[in-house]
């Protein structure tokens, strides 16, 4: 019974996150707990659950209070594009696909995240056709808003 309730709660949390158009964990945290500002400082870093900020329905964790302050001053600069979903999957197939928080690209001052697992690094595919995939991802994400 406990196992069944766990799976119901788990999938309900996933469905709720997807219905919000945001890629959030069961606790409503974006980028799997990584600090969104850290990407702009050279490398993604895990955030601290005691240093947080909200942007819309997403909660973000930060490595430092300085990063939290920067985010609070301009959250749209630092929040990931497409609600934190894989940019390539949106551009290529119009699908919401989870990401690997260590696979990313800063493009035109915006954070894009990508799926990378089991030998499938979608950032590599994105880089081969970036401009077309970017236009298509922008258009496809509109249907999820």
Cα dist from 96 to 17, 18, 83, 107, 140, whole Å: 11, 8, 9, 20, 10
Model's pTM, two decimal places? Answer: 0.86
Q: What is the pLDDT along the chain (145 residues), one digit of tens a residue?
A: 444 433 334 444 444 444 569 999 999 999 999 999 999 999 999 999 999 999 999 999 999 999 999 999 999 999 999 999 999 999 999 999 999 999 999 999 999 999 999 999 999 999 999 999 999 999 999 999 8
Q: What is the CA radius of gyration of the chain?
A: 15
The domain locations on the chain are 1-79, 80-145
Burial zone of 65 (CB within 10 Å; 0-12 exposed, 13-18 middle, 19+ buried): exposed
């Amino acid at each position: 019974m406990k196992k069944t309730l766990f799976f119901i709660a788990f999938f309900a949390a996933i469905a709720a996150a997807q219905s919000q158009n945001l890629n959030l964990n069961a606790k409503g945290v974006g980028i799997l707990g990584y600090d969104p500002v850290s990407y702009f400082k050279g490398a993604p870093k895990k955030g601290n659950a005691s240093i947080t900020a909200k942007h819309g329905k997403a909660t973000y964790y930060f490595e430092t209070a300085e990063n939290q302050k920067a985010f609070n001053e301009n959250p749209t600069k630092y929040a990931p594009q497409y609600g934190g979903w894989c940019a390539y999957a949106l551009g290529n197939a119009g699908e919401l696909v989870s990401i690997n928080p260590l696979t990313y690209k800063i493009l035109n001052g915006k954070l894009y995240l990508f799926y990378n697992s089991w030998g499938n690094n979608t950032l590599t595919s994105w880089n081969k056709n970036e401009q077309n995939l970017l236009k298509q991802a922008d258009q496809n994400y509109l249907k999820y808003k």
